Amino acid sequence: MNDAVTTAPGIVAVVLVTVATLAIGTWGLRFSRTTSDFFVASRTVRPGLNASAIGGEYLSAASFLGIAGLVLVFGADMLWYPVGWTAGYLVLLVLVAAPLRRSGAYTLPDFAEARLGSRRVRSLCSALVVGIGWLYLLPQFQGAGVTLAATIGAPPWLGAVIVAAVVLINVTSGGMRSITFVQAFQYWLKLTALLVPACVLLAVWAGDGAPNPADAAIPGDAFWSLPLGDGGAQGLYVTYSLIIATFLGTMGLPHVVVRFYTNPDGRAARRTTLVVLGLLGVFYLLPPVYGALGRLYASDSIVRASDVLVLELPRLMVPGLGGELLTGLVTAGAFAAFLSTSSGLTIAVAGVLSQDVASRRLSGITAFRVAGVAAVVVPCAVAIAAPDVGVARTVGLAFAVAASTFCPLLLLGIWWRGLTAAGAVAGLLVGGIGSGCAVGWTLLTSATTGWAAVLLGQPAAWSVPAALATMVVVSRATRSRIPAHAGRFMVRLHTPEAVDLAR
Amino acid sequence: MSAEPTSGTGGRPARVRVTGPPRRRASGVRPTASREIDADSELGAVYMSSLLGEQLRLAAGVLVALGLTVGVLPLVFHVFPHLSDLRLLGVPVPWLLLGVLVYPWLIVLGWFYVRRAEANERDFADLVADQPDER
């Protein structure tokens, strides 16, 4: 795999995507003139562009590489990942999109502090943003290592280090400030990089007269088409827990919230989310195609890491230069996925770290740069030290933590006047510690059978209700301490901007 | 911020400092409803809870529709596992449902929600604005 002909398209693709990312970032910088331009694009981004940017930031290594491999290995129950990641935006649309924009909060800790008027809640939210961000960055770096190892035969740590370095240069030099253009470009790049090879591969499959993928006889997976986990009641629990984590976790992802703030008003925030639903729906039609075709053409590679299926399949199905070029295109898309998602997450984590930790000792830009280094180095080191966790599974855990912490906080904060700071802290601790223990247990052990393993492997079904109930009960018990401005804040969250009211 | 800048000396229009869109109506009496809401009075709270209730009912309706369609699929396939052997045009039914059909359905639900939520807000804006103070 190491001769120059087969590695050239992969290397060219990685270099081109990196250069294009830096170039568009710099080009977009020329339109940024004020501080407001830099941080929130002066809140004038139109729904179409903003939705592309959200799609570009959201579609990570897990979507681009993970799903196809999981579908190949485990079958139709893995289709719940893309369904949940899309439906999460519908839940976000109906429950939080417009109020979150109207709150004027730039990050989740900002929202918590503005709503509850408590520094303690803010600090706790900051810690959770850093934790979720790191957990989400980890599989991006792992995926980068897997990708470079598969396409150009590089050692696994190299990909992680390259992505980490590019992200760090981007974020700390300011090139990513014009992030909207970069992210929007990367959505369309990722869609093209998956769509074009998929069409070619489908044509090859039709031309081959090969059998229906559903008929491929692979011993030991009679239930490939059944959209449920294995093992009866346990499988049902795992599937529903995954649904809860993904449907409710999307709204709590730290890099998603920032993008809502760039909408001009609450109405535009809703329309943006609707376009996002469309963009994600189109994209997620494609990974299962790779998974299904992989059953026919790559069944012997099931034993290897399934995350490389999308990268290997063009080569396996199209011999010669054509296959290598398609592999180059897919590699470009995968690299765009790592860069866009990790840049967005790094900015979110570094923003919180610099505001709440580093700024106590350092000033402005220095604090942000130090925080950026910390935001990238920690997950990168873990990715190199522990490279064997499935990309989509780790991302699934990040969703479970987000669903158990920020989802109850946002839901109750937006729709219930009675939430108190004490209630929020108690609920965040219950949800965060519960799901956090589950995550640690899953990352450190490998047992997957028995109810204990099932409950800890997919914690959302018990940790989300526990966090919600704790918030409600403790808030009721401390109802004398409902923030004085709660009513005024409700007016700000829910009334249309056109109505003339004190906010 | 008046609409017509008054002429200064020498026929040049006087400079107007623009700091942002007007937060308040420039002149005239503000409608009762918005004053009540601003004062956080009981009547104002009624206006607000009617808007909140309307939006929350709409959101709950959409989520129930989502739960009764997409959400029951695992249960249906758990109870009737042989449904997964059904084929439509050669594609197993679960693949058709979860791989393709669910996405247009999510967009339809979202589109319905956006339309209704904007209509609710228009109604609220009319309710609050169209009550000239005549006492």
Q: Which domains does chain A have, with CATH numbers?
A: 4-236+254-387 (1.20.1730.10)
Could A281 and B107 be called an inter-chain contact, meaning their C-beta atoms sit closer than 8 Å? yes
Which chain A positions have a beta carbon within 8 Å of B23's beta carbon? 500
Task: Give the gap in angstroms from C-alpha B36 to the nearest C-alpha of chain A.
Answer: 10
Which chain A residue lies closest to B113 (C-alpha atoms)?
Answer: A94
Mention every residue, 6+ apart, whose C-beta is less than 8 A from residue A369: A172
Strand, helix or coil for residue A170: helix
Q: Return the closest-CA partner of residue A430 out of A452, A451, A458, A409.
A: A409
Q: Which of A104-118, A178-192, A409-423 has the highest mean pLDDT?
A: A409-423
Which candidate from B51, B52, B74 shows the least CB-CB separation from A227?
A: B74
Which candidate from A90, A491, A502 shows the least CB-CB separation from B110?
A: A90
Could B52 and A236 be called an inter-chain contact, meaning their C-beta atoms sit closer than 8 Å? no
Q: Which residues on adjacent β-strands are paired with residue B13?
A: B7
Could A83 and B98 be called an inter-chain contact, meaning their C-beta atoms sit closer than 8 Å? yes
Interatomic CA distance for residues A205 and A287, integer angstroms: 16
Rounded mean pLDDT, A301-326: 74
pLDDT at B2 over 50: no
- Window 79-98 of B, Cβ < 8 Å to A: 81, 84-85, 87, 90-92, 94-95, 97-98
Q: Return the closest-CA partner of residue A18 out of A167, A227, A213.
A: A167
Interatomic CA distance for residues A200 and B7, integer angstroms: 69
* Residue B88, phi then psi, degrees to nearest 5: -130, 115
Q: Does A211 touch chain B (CB under 8 A)?
A: no
Residues in chain B, overall count? 135
For the record, the structure tokens of A302 come out as: 């099931």
Which candidate from B48, B66, B99 shows the least CB-CB separation from A79?
A: B99
Instruction: Return the higher-pLDDT residue of A33 and A215.
Output: A215
Strand, helix or coil for residue A265: coil
pLDDT in the model for residue A42: 47
For the record, the structure tokens of B117 come out as: 């939520």
Q: Confidence class of residue A281 from pLDDT cuts 50, 70 and 90?
A: very high
Question: A22: how many CB neighbours lie within 10 A of its CB?
Answer: 18
Q: Return the closest-CA partner of residue A137 out of A72, A67, A57.
A: A57
Task: Give the gap in angstroms from C-alpha A90 to the nearest C-alpha of chain B.
Answer: 6
Mention every residue, 6+ apart, whose C-beta is less than 8 A from residue A106: A39, A40, A257, A258, A261
Q: Return the closest-CA partner of residue A408 out of A344, A473, A352, A350.
A: A473
pLDDT at A305 over 80: no
Q: Is residue A137 within a helix (H) or strand (E), and if so which, with residue range?
A: helix A119-152
Q: Which of A224-233, A257-266, A371-380 has the highest mean pLDDT?
A: A371-380
The letter for the amino acid at B135 is R
Task: Give the gap in angstroms from C-alpha A231 to the nearest C-alpha of chain B.
Answer: 11
Residues A253 and A136 sit within 8 Å (Cβ to Cβ):
yes
What value does the mean pLDDT of chain A take? 81
Mention every residue, 6+ apart, whose C-beta is less than 8 A from residue A410: A95, A96, A100, A108, A111, A251, A252
Query: Could you tell me where the DSSP H helices lie in chain B?
Result: 32-38, 42-66, 73-79, 93-95, 102-129
Which candidate from A89, A93, A501 shows the least CB-CB separation from B34?
A: A501
Q: Does A281 touch chain B (CB under 8 A)?
A: yes
Task: Give the gap in angstroms from C-alpha A285 to the nearest C-alpha of chain B.
Answer: 6
Rounded mean pLDDT, A381-390: 74
Which chain A positions have a beta carbon within 8 Å of B66's beta carbon? 87, 90-91
Q: Which residues on adjacent β-strands are paired with residue B88?
A: B91
Interatomic CA distance for residues A301 and A297, integer angstroms: 9
